[in-house]
C-alpha cells in the first residue's frame, strides 16, 4: 500500500517494474499543496489547505493515443489507469484525427526548481494573519471604503514526467498576494486592487519586491480618488498602457492568437480560433517595428517559468515576433508535427487530471529605450491606463474591448487628472501596428494570469507576461454610462 | 462511493477529541472525455477523481482542507488522517471567526438518479458516422457525478447523477459555425440526429456571404443560448447578498429600487428542477427554489452560510451564484419569432461577455455561432462577428418587446477542475434595440 509520503520518484520506479513491456507510455505525476489565507473587513477567514496527488497515464497504441487520470497511486490503481488508456486508444484508433508518429515519452531527463529565498513556512500562521490584519488597517482608511480584503496564496507543485527510460522532475513554488479596496458613494462603486496580477514563482521575499505592504494605503486612496473622478471621455486618442494592462493586452491579442492548436482548429468549439493562419509565419507584420515578443520560460521568478513542458520537452527562449514580424507559433511537439511549423515547448496542463494542450507560458515584450517621462512627454492627447478589470475579445482574437481600474489624462505631454471607468477597444491586427513608443527597462514589470481558461475538458492555467509601459496611437477610448 | 464516503467520515468522527466537530464534503466523478476536431477524435481520456473536503471546528475556530480519495478505505483513511493532523495544527493557531456557520441540526437526504449511459464506443461511432461529412469540433463528456456531505453529528446527504454532455459545433470553410448541445441521462440517437439535421439546415445559410454590419442600434432576437451568456455574467455578482451589501452587485440599482426591469421579467434559482444538490458544504438544507426577480423587481438575494452570519439572514444557497437559473416564459411562440423581429439580428449565441460599466449593468461581448441578418421576417445572411455593448437594464427593461413561450434547458458543459452540475432554463427575448459597437 503506497503511503502519502512516498516520493514521486519511488512511484515511477514502482510503475516501471510493472508496466507492460513493448508499449509507448508516459506517466505524469503531480503532487500539489495549496494554502489560502484571507482577512476581509478585519475578520480572518478560516485557513484553507488543499492537497492533491494524482497520475495521468498516456498510452500510444500504434499512433492512437489516449490518457487515464486517477488519484489511486497503488500498483493496482496505476495498472487500471494504464489499461483504461490502452483500451481507449485501441477502441478509438480507427477514428483518430491523425496518427502519432513519435514516442509520447520524454526523450531526456532533467530537473527544475523555483527560486525561493524566504520559504512560505518561514512565517507562522499567526504572523501571516498579523500581516494581513495590518494591511486591512491601512485599507480601511475612510468611511467610503465599504469593503476591503488582503490575502496570501501559496502553491507548491511537484511534477514528475516519466517514460520507460527518462524522467523530468520539476518543483514549483508560487506566491499569490492580493489586496483590494471598494469605495462607494451613492450608486457609484469603484474598486482598486494590487498584487492579484503579480503572482510569482517565489517565496515571501516577493512581497517586499513588489512593495505589497506599501501599496495598501495607496490602493485605498486611489479607490477614493476614483469616486471623485470624471468619466473617461469618448474619443480617439493615444493610450499609455502600464505593464499591469499590457499583461492582458499581450495575453489576449498576442498569446492566444499564436497558439497552434487554435490555428489547427482544436479550440473552435470553445476558446476559439485565430486570425493568424499558418502561412503568416515569417512574413506577416504583426506590429510596428518596435514590437519584440519572446517566449521566455527562463526568467527567474516569472509565473510560468519552467525547464520542460508537461510532455517533457525542454523549453528554450524563442522570438515569436521580432521587429514587428511574426516568426513562430506557440505549439508543442505534437502541434508542430501536425502543422509542419516550428513552435516552442508549451504543451501544458492544469493538473494531473487533464491532458497537455498548447498553452502560452511566459510571453514577454522586450523593453525599448524610452523613459516614463519621455513616454508621457510624447503624448499630446491621451490616457494612461492601469490594472485590468474587464476583458472581452472575439473568437479569432481580433476585435477586443478591455477596461481598467484606474486612468489618468495626459495633455500636452503632462500627466493630469484621474478618470474613472476607462475602456478601450480595437482590432488586434491593427492595434499592434499602432505601437508608437516602448518604455525602457525601468518601466518594465512582470505580471501574471492565474486562471487562463481553455481546452475541452476545461483547464485553468497560469501564464506570465512581463512588459514595459507602451504607447499606442489612435485608440477608441470611452467610459461608463 | 457513497458507502465509502460515509464509512470514511464515520471512522474519522469516531477519532475526534473533545468538542471537535468534523464537516465533510465529497465531489467526484468517473468521466470519459472525447474531444473532436474535423469530426474525428482529437484527444480521449478517462478521469477518475473524488475530492474530499474536511472542515474541523472547535468553538469559533475552524480550518478546512482538501485531499483526493483513491477509493481504497485504508489508503483514504491514511490520507484523511494526515490532512486532519494538518488542520489541527492550523486550528489552534487561527483566530476566532465571528462568521463561522455550520448546520448543527442533522437532516439527511438521498437523491440518486443513476441510469446506465450508452457504451462510449457506440456513442462515438454514432457521432462520427452521423457527421462524417461535416467539420465537427467539440467534446463528449459522460459518466457518474457525485456530491456528498457528512458530519460528526450524524448528518448524511448524497446526490448522484449519471449524465452525458455533448457540446459541439459544425463549421463552414469560411469559419461560420452552428453550435449545438445535447445533454441528459437517457441517450436517444434520434435526438442527436434532429440536432444534426437542424445544423445542416443552418450550414446551408451560413455558406452564404456574411453580412458586415456597421456599428449602431438594431432590433434583435436573442435565443436562449445567447441570453445565457449575459445571465451567466450577471450571476457572478448580481444576486449575491455579500456583493449587494458591499455595493459591488451589478444589480445594486435594481435592489435599491433605482432601476426596474420589465414586469415580464421573473427569475429564480430553481434547484429542485435541475441537477444541483439541495444541501450546502456546511450541511444546510436549501430551498428547492429562491425567487430572484419578480415581475421586474428584485426579490431575494442568495445567501451562503458565511453571509448569513455576517448579515443576519437565513441561508438559502450553497454559493451566492445561482446554479439553476430559470427565467419565466412569455407568450411569443417560436414560430412567430422571425415575423415579430421583422428586420434585424437573429442572435443564437453571444460570447465572452464582461462588464463595460458594472454600476449600470452594462455588458460587452461578441456574436458567435449562427447569427443571422433578417429582413422582412426572412433570414438573409450570416453575420460577420460583431461586438455589442449594452445594459441589461435596457435589454430586459425598456427595450424588451417579448419573451418566448418555449424555453431551453441548458446543462453547463463547464469542466474546470470537475464537470459542472449547473444549468439554465431560459426563454429567448426580442429587443427593440441592441447596440453594436465594433
How far does Cα A166 stand from its chain's mean position?
A: 28
Give first-to-last CA distance, chain A, whole Å: 63
B184 lies in the same domain as B302: no
DSSP 8-state symbol, B288: S
Residue B211 falls within a domain, yes or no?
no
Tell me, letter by letter, the H, E, C secondary structure of B36-81.
Answer: EECCEEEEEEEEEEEEEEEEEEECCEEEEEEEECCCCHHHHHHHHH
Residue A22: which pLDDT band, with cuts at 50, 70 and 90? Answer: confident
**Which residues of A are less than 8 Å from B75 in CB distance?**
1-2, 72, 74
B418 lies in the same domain as B344: yes
Q: Across the interface, which of B47, B48, B438 has its CB nearest the CB of A425? A: B438
**Which residues of A are less than 8 Å from B175 in CB distance?**
268, 273, 396
Q: What H or E segment, with its residue span, contains residue B88?
A: helix B73-91
Task: List the one residue out of A190, A197, A201, A222 whose CA is nearest residue A212.
Answer: A197
d(CA B166, CA B195): 11
Q: How large a percentage of chain A has pLDDT more than 70?
A: 99
pLDDT at B365: 98
Whether residues A268 and B137 touch (CB distance < 8 A) is answered with yes
- Model confidence pLDDT, tens digit, residues B357-400: 999 999 999 999 999 999 999 999 999 999 999 999 999 999 99
- Give strand pairing partners of A427: A399
**Mean pLDDT on A349-357:** 98
**Mean pLDDT on B84-108:** 94
Q: How large a percentage of chain B has pLDDT more than 90?
A: 98
B233 lies in the same domain as B351: yes
Chosen domain end from B166, B184, B206: B206
Q: What H or E segment, with its residue span, contains residue B239?
A: none
Question: In this structure, are residues B192 and B166 in contact, taking their beta carbons and an 8 Å threshold?
Answer: yes
**Mean pLDDT on A174-182:** 98
Residue A21: which pLDDT band, with cuts at 50, 70 and 90? Answer: confident
d(CA B236, CA B231): 9
- Model confidence pLDDT, tens digit, residues A45-71: 999 999 999 999 999 999 999 999 999
B256 lies in the same domain as B159: no
The interface predicted TM-score of the complex, written ipTM, equals 0.96
Residue B114: which pLDDT band, with cuts at 50, 70 and 90? Answer: confident
Question: In this structure, are residues A167 and B225 in contact, taking their beta carbons and an 8 Å threshold?
Answer: no
- Model confidence pLDDT, tens digit, residues B341-355: 999 999 999 999 999
B162 lies in the same domain as B220: no
Task: List the one residue out of A6, A16, A69, A33 whose CA is nearest residue A158.
Answer: A33
Say how many CB pairs under 8 Å bridge A and B: 272
Q: Is B230 helix (H, G, I), strand (E, B) or coil?
A: helix
pLDDT at A3: 40
Cell numbers 477608441 label which residue? A476
Domains for chain A: give ranges and CATH numbers.
Answer: 8-228 (3.30.2290.10), 231-478 (no CATH)
B64 lies in the same domain as B87: yes
**Mean pLDDT on A184-200:** 97
B184 lies in the same domain as B241: no
**Which residues of B are less than 8 Å from A453 in CB distance?**
416
Residue B152 falls within a domain, yes or no?
yes
DSSP 8-state symbol, A308: B
B199 lies in the same domain as B278: no
**Mean pLDDT on B148-158:** 97
B252 lies in the same domain as B159: no
- Model confidence pLDDT, tens digit, residues A109-125: 999 999 999 999 999 99
- Model confidence pLDDT, tens digit, residues B298-332: 999 999 999 999 999 999 999 999 999 999 999 99
Phi, psi of B240 (to 5 degrees): -80, 130
- Structurally, chain B folds into a number of domains equal to 2
Question: In this structure, are residues A153 and A36 in contact, taking their beta carbons and an 8 Å threshold?
Answer: yes
Q: How many helices (H) and strands (E) does chain A have?
A: 10, 24
Whether residues A425 and B437 touch (CB distance < 8 A) is answered with yes
Cell numbers 519621455 label which residue? A374
Q: What H or E segment, with its residue span, contains residue A24?
A: strand A24-40
Residue A30: which pLDDT band, with cuts at 50, 70 and 90? Answer: very high
B319 lies in the same domain as B368: yes
Residue B243 falls within a domain, yes or no?
yes
- Model confidence pLDDT, tens digit, residues A72-107: 999 999 999 999 999 999 999 999 999 999 999 999
| Residue in A closest to B389 by C-alpha | A401
B384 lies in the same domain as B325: yes
Whether residues A48 and B98 touch (CB distance < 8 A) is answered with no
Q: Across the interface, which of B66, B368, B415 has its CB nearest the CB of A395? A: B368
B179 lies in the same domain as B245: no
Whether residues B48 and A70 touch (CB distance < 8 A) is answered with yes
The secondary structure of B339-373 as a DSSP string is HHH-SEEEES-EEEEEEEEGGGTEEEEEE-SS-EE
Phi, psi of A376 (to 5 degrees): -70, -40
pLDDT at B308: 98
**Which residues of A are less than 8 Å from B67 in CB distance?**
50-53
Chosen domain end from B180, B206, B232: B206
Question: In this structure, are residues A386 and A470 in contact, taking their beta carbons and an 8 Å threshold?
Answer: no
Residue A434: which pLDDT band, with cuts at 50, 70 and 90? Answer: very high
For the beta carbon of residue A426, count every other beta carbon within 10 angstroms. 23
Whether residues A67 and B45 touch (CB distance < 8 A) is answered with yes
The secondary structure of B161-212 as a DSSP string is EEEEEEEEEEE-TT--EEEEEEEESS--HHHHHHHHHHHHHHHHHHTSPPBP
Whether residues A394 and B415 touch (CB distance < 8 A) is answered with no
Whether residues B360 and A394 touch (CB distance < 8 A) is answered with no
A308 Cβ partners below 8 Å, 6+ apart? A106, A110, A112, A161, A168, A170, A314, A315, A345
Q: What H or E segment, with its residue span, contains residue B128?
A: helix B120-130
Whether residues A401 and B364 touch (CB distance < 8 A) is answered with yes
For chain A, give the mean pLDDT. 97
- Model confidence pLDDT, tens digit, residues B230-263: 999 999 999 999 999 999 999 999 999 999 999 9
Exposed, middle or buried by CB within 10 Å (0-12, 13-18, 19+), for B60? exposed
Give first-to-last CA distance, chain B, whole Å: 51
Exposed, middle or buried by CB within 10 Å (0-12, 13-18, 19+), for B109? middle
Whether residues B78 and A92 touch (CB distance < 8 A) is answered with no
For the beta carbon of residue A391, count every other beta carbon within 10 angstroms. 18
Q: Across the interface, which of A4, A146, A480 has its CB nearest the CB of B246? A: A146
pLDDT at B18: 87
| Residue in A closest to B385 by C-alpha | A394
**Which residues of A are less than 8 Å from B414 in CB distance?**
458
Q: State the CATH number of the domain containing residue B37.
A: 3.30.2290.10
Chosen domain end from B147, B171, B206: B206
d(CA A89, CA B121): 11
Task: List the one residue out of A240, A237, A294 whose CA is nearest residue A437.
Answer: A240
pLDDT of A2 > 80? The answer is no
d(CA B10, CA A13): 35
Domain with B54 in it: 2-206
pLDDT at A1: 36
Residue A481: which pLDDT band, with cuts at 50, 70 and 90? Answer: confident
Question: In this structure, are residues B44 and B34 in contact, taking their beta carbons and an 8 Å threshold?
Answer: yes
Chain B interface mutation, best of A353, A357, A420, A422, highest count of B Cβ atoms under 10 Å: A353
Q: How large a percentage of chain B has pLDDT more than 70?
A: 100
Which one is predicted more confidently, B18 or A61? Answer: A61
Q: Across the interface, which of B41, B65, B391 has its CB nearest the CB of A48? A: B65
d(CA A168, CA A310): 9
Amino acid at each position: 500500500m503506497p503511503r502519502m509520503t512516498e516520493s514521486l520518484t519511488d512511484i515511477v520506479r514502482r510503475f516501471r517494474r510493472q508496466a507492460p513491456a513493448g508499449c509507448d507510455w508516459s506517466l505524469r505525476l503531480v503532487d500539489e499543496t495549496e494554502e489560502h489565507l484571507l482577512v476581509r473587513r478585519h475578520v480572518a477567514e478560516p485557513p484553507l489547505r488543499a492537497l492533491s496527488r494524482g497520475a495521468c497515464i498516456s498510452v500510444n497504441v500504434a499512433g492512437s493515443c489516449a490518457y487515464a487520470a486517477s488519484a489511486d497511486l497503488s500498483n493496482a490503481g496505476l495498472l487500471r489507469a494504464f489499461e483504461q488508456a490502452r483500451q481507449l486508444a485501441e477502441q478509438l484508433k480507427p477514428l483518430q484525427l491523425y496518427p502519432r508518429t513519435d514516442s509520447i515519452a520524454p526523450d531526456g531527463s532533467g530537473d527544475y526548481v523555483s527560486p525561493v529565498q524566504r520559504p512560505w513556512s518561514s512565517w507562522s500562521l499567526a504572523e501571516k494573519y498579523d500581516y494581513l490584519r495590518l494591511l486591512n488597517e491601512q485599507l480601511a482608511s475612510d468611511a467610503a471604503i465599504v469593503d476591503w480584503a488582503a490575502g496570501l496564496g501559496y502553491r507548491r507543485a511537484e511534477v514528475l514526467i516519466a517514460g520507460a527510460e527518462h524522467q523530468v522532475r520539476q518543483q514549483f513554488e508560487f506566491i499569490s498576494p492580493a489586496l483590494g479596496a471598494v469605495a462607494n458613494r451613492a450608486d457609484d462603486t469603484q474598486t482598486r486592487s494590487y498584487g492579484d496580477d503579480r503572482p510569482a514563482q517565489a517565496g515571501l521575499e516577493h512581497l517586499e519586491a513588489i512593495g505589497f505592504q506599501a501599496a495598501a494605503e495607496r490602493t485605498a486612496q486611489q479607490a477614493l480618488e476614483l469616486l471623485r473622478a470624471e468619466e473617461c471621455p469618448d474619443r480617439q486618442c493615444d493610450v499609455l498602457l502600464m505593464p499591469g494592462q499590457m499583461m492582458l493586452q499581450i495575453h489576449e491579442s498576442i498569446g492566444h492568437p499564436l497558439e497552434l492548436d487554435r490555428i489547427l482548429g482544436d479550440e473552435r468549439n470553445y476558446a476559439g480560433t485565430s486570425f493568424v493562419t499558418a502561412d503568416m509565419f515569417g512574413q506577416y507584420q504583426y506590429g510596428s517595428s518596435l514590437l519584440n515578443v519572446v517566449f521566455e520560460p527562463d526568467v527567474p521568478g516569472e509565473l510560468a517559468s519552467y525547464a520542460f513542458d508537461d510532455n517533457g520537452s525542454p523549453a528554450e527562449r524563442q522570438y515569436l515576433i521580432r521587429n514587428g514580424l511574426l516568426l513562430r507559433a506557440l505549439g508543442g511537439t505534437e502541434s508542430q508535427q501536425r502543422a509542419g511549423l516550428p513552435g516552442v515547448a508549451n504543451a501544458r496542463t492544469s493538473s494531473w487530471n487533464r491532458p497537455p494542450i498548447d498553452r502560452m507560458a511566459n510571453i514577454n515584450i522586450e523593453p525599448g529605450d524610452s523613459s516614463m517621462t519621455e513616454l508621457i512627454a510624447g503624448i499630446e492627447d491621451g490616457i494612461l491606463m492601469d490594472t485590468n478589470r474587464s476583458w472581452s475579445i472575439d473568437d479569432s482574437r481580433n476585435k477586443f474591448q478591455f477596461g481598467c481600474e484606474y486612468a489618468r489624462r495626459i495633455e500636452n505631454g503632462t500627466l493630469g487628472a484621474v478618470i474613472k471607468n476607462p475602456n478601450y477597444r480595437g482590432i488586434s491586427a491593427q492595434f499592434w501596428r499602432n505601437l508608437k513608443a516602448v518604455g525602457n527597462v525601468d518601466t518594465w514589470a512582470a505580471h501574471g494570469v492565474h486562471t487562463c481558461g481553455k481546452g475541452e475538458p476545461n483547464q485553468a492555467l497560469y501564464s506570465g507576461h512581463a512588459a514595459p509601459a507602451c504607447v499606442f496611437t489612435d485608440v477608441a477610448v470611452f467610459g461608463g454610462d | 462511493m457513497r458507502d465509502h464516503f460515509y464509512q470514511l467520515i464515520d471512522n474519522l468522527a469516531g477519532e475526534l477529541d473533545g468538542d471537535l466537530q468534523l464537516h465533510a464534503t465529497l465531489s467526484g466523478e468517473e468521466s470519459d472525455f472525447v474531444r473532436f476536431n474535423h469530426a474525428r477524435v482529437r484527444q480521449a481520456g478517462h478521469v477518475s477523481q473524488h475530492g474530499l473536503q474536511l472542515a474541523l471546528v472547535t468553538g469559533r475556530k475552524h480550518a478546512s482542507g482538501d485531499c483526493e480519495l483513491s477509493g481504497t478505505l485504508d489508503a483514504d483513511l491514511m490520507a484523511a488522517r494526515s490532512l486532519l493532523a494538518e488542520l489541527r495544527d492550523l486550528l489552534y493557531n487561527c483566530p476566532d471567526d465571528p462568521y463561522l456557520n455550520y448546520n448543527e441540526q442533522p437532516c439527511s437526504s438521498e437523491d440518486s438518479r443513476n441510469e446506465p449511459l450508452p457504451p462510449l464506443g457506440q456513442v462515438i461511432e454514432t457521432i462520427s458516422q452521423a457527421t462524417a461529412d461535416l467539420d465537427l469540433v467539440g467534446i463528449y463528456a459522460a459518466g457518474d457525478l457525485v456530491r456528498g456531505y457528512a458530519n460528526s453529528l450524524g448528518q448524511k446527504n448524497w446526490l448522484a447523477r449519471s449524465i452525458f454532455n455533448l457540446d459541439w459545433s459544425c463549421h463552414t470553410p469560411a469559419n461560420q459555425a452552428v453550435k449545438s448541445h445535447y445533454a441528459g441521462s437517457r441517450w436517444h440517437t434520434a435526438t442527436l440526429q434532429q440536432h444534426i439535421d437542424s445544423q445542416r439546415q443552418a450550414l446551408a445559410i451560413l455558406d452564404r456571404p456574411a453580412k458586415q454590419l456597421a456599428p449602431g442600434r438594431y432590433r434583435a432576437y436573442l435565443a436562449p443560448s445567447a441570453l445565457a451568456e449575459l445571465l451567466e455574467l450577471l450571476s457572478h455578482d448580481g444576486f449575491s447578498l455579500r456583493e449587494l451589501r458591499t455595493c459591488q452587485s451589478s444589480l445594486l440599482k435594481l435592489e435599491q429600487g433605482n432601476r426596474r426591469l420589465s414586469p415580464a421579467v421573473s427569475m429564480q434559482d430553481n434547484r429542485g428542477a435541475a441537477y444541483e444538490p439541495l444541501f450546502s458544504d456546511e450541511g444546510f438544507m436549501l430551498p428547492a427554489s429562491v425567487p430572484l426577480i419578480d415581475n421586474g423587481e428584485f426579490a431575494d438575494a442568495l445567501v451562503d452560510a458565511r453571509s448569513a452570519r455576517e448579515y443576519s439572514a437565513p441561508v438559502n444557497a450553497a454559493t451566492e451564484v445561482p446554479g439553476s437559473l430559470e427565467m419565466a416564459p412569455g407568450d411569443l411562440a417560436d414560430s412567430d419569432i422571425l415575423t415579430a423581429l421583422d428586420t434585424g439580428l437573429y442572435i443564437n449565441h453571444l460570447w465572452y461577455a464582461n462588464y463595460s460599466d458594472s454600476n449600470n449593468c452594462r455588458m460587452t461581448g461578441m456574436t458567435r455561432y449562427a447569427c443571422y441578418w433578417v429582413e422582412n421576417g426572412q433570414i438573409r445572411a450570416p453575420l460577420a462577428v460583431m461586438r455589442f455593448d449594452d445594459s441589461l437594464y435596457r435589454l430586459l427593461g425598456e427595450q424588451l418587446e417579448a419573451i418566448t413561450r418555449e424555453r431551453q434547458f441548458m446543462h453547463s458543459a463547464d469542466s474546470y477542475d470537475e464537470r459542472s452540475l449547473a444549468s439554465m432554463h431560459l426563454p429567448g427575448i426580442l429587443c427593440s434595440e441592441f447596440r453594436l459597437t465594433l
